[in-house]
A and B are shown apart, each in its own frame.
Chain A
Amino acid sequence: MTAQQQEAIFRRWLDAHLGLMLKVVRGCAAAPEDQDDLFQEVLLQVWSSIPAFRGEARETTWIYRVAFNTALAWRRGERRRREGHETFMKFDVSPQVQPSHVESLAEQEIVARLYAAIRQLPKVDASLALMHLDGLSYQEMAEVLGISENYIGVKLNRIRKQLAEQLKGANDEL
């Protein structure tokens, strides 16, 4: 694979799957500086993984694998890449880049509480919760984690209950 091809794929994945990567990062790290650190690490690993991508797996499955494996190996405060780097990411609040639908404040609150609840789960359960919420099939989740689909079902039942329990207070408030 040439450098140009790798760059083209990386740019396409960034356009198509940025939200996926950010969800994994936010589901695994709470503090903004940790999220920044982990996000850079995920991007680096995604970039490095591209030459091995043969198109046999779905792009989303591939990126989930890379992102989860990176989050697993990443340890808070162990390595800081921010020093001396240029800022490539910024939050845009201008109206033209707002999402087409208007997220209600209540929905934003639910999502924020979901992230907090997911971060409380064990790492593997957090990975499953993120994929389940994103609507991945049992087969895709099994591929990402390397376990059987039956076991996925068993674990998801438990995770749903745990999430419901943790969000119970929030739901009452909402």
Chain B
Amino acid sequence: MDGYKLSIGSAAKLLRGREISSKELTQSVLDRIAAVDGKIGAYLTLCRDEALAQAEEADRRLARPDAPPLCGIPLAIKDVLCTKGVRTTCGSKILENFIPPYDAHVISLLKDQGAVLVGKTNMDEFAMGSSTENSAYFPTRNPWDTARIPGGSSGGSAAAVAADMCLAALGSDTGGSVRQPASHCGVVGIKPTYGRVSRFGLVAYASSLDQVGVMAKDVSDCALLLQAIAGHDRRDSTSANVPVPAYSAAGPATLRGLRIGVVEDYVKTEGIDPDVSRAFDSTVAALTAQGAEVVSVRLPHARHAVSAYYIIAPAEASSNLARYDGVKYGYRAPDSGDLLDMYFDTRSRGFGDEVKRRILIGTYALSSGYYDAYYRKASQVRTLLCRDFTEAFSLCDLVVSPVAPTPAFHLGEKTEDPLTMYLSDIFTLSVNLAGLPGISVPCGFSSQGLPIGFQIIGDYFAEEKILGLARSLEAILGIAGMRPEL
């Protein structure tokens, strides 16, 4: 049996029926990785022996009737999450040999369920990027067209799911880093409400925006995995103490009478690819044909999202990344003179150009005399954007938009021009700035056969509602099972 092709839902049934063992399933995924990852480059670190040992343990647990839903399921983890005893690089040379002494909260939860962790996936260095080309190790390629980027920064996780090199994966989303690669790779990716999932053990990039997210082959798997990682954790002071609904038990939304907000300001965006517009419009039309009601909503401050984001995120990054000093862990430049020289040498050799660029922007924005003009102003814009969303949600149940303005672009196409790269996040950034949940669901293909995603944005803690509409959409469109040929 080609176990690697399975969804979590179907694998869980087979595991319980003893029709396949977790060890066979895990071996099948490892064989698949050995066969195709040379073309894709999704994994930075493989945990072959650990995974097979976890699978054997899972098989023992699966003999009992109360085995948890993810028991024995092979998953991939973005290399931004700390895994005890397994190196965690965050895509950076500065953490090349870092072996965390503890597990991130979400990793503990997955291990408690008996999930099998097959490896750590590639990413833009410190999650700074939209193409995974900023990885200090190697770029990841899009399984639908290996001349193209998989999106980023969770490009490795998205590509691993799309190429059946895991059953599902965890990513992180600071400005679209789960939804945009999910869109480019034709998988489902959700970024939960800020605070819904603990950030304990997530390597910090921009703390007021970072959130752990899920990438999966279908909406039902996405709900199952979100269910496993959501909830309060006292080790993250921004973790919300709000009950977790039964995401995995909820069915499709009732479309009749559901008010779907189409963002007027987004429809008019310059530079949006005609294939993306077409896919978006026909998806909205498919929903209205089923009785959903389209409401036009406005987000007047969304046009400032890119500016606000690229002040706030670099500012917070410049502070968070001050910890990489070559003393406690990570790379230290050898043969430096005194302590200060060692700091300079370590950071200059350990960080890549995009990380340096953002540290420079952030340090400038926070430096004496500039705080009011930049960080404070950007934070006020965030408040205004939040008010826009509150207004929108008074008129509709869910807001919808494209995920990215174009399908996956070619490797090297935007690396020389940071600003153009930043603009590719235009539809996803607002969601992080407001702290709202959002999902990308596959909704069609470009004329060149590249996947295109549809973004559904909900009010705070409305993940259940988002997943409901995503399930309906998946049923109407019937493209969830489509996979690239490799």
| Chains A and B are bound partners | no
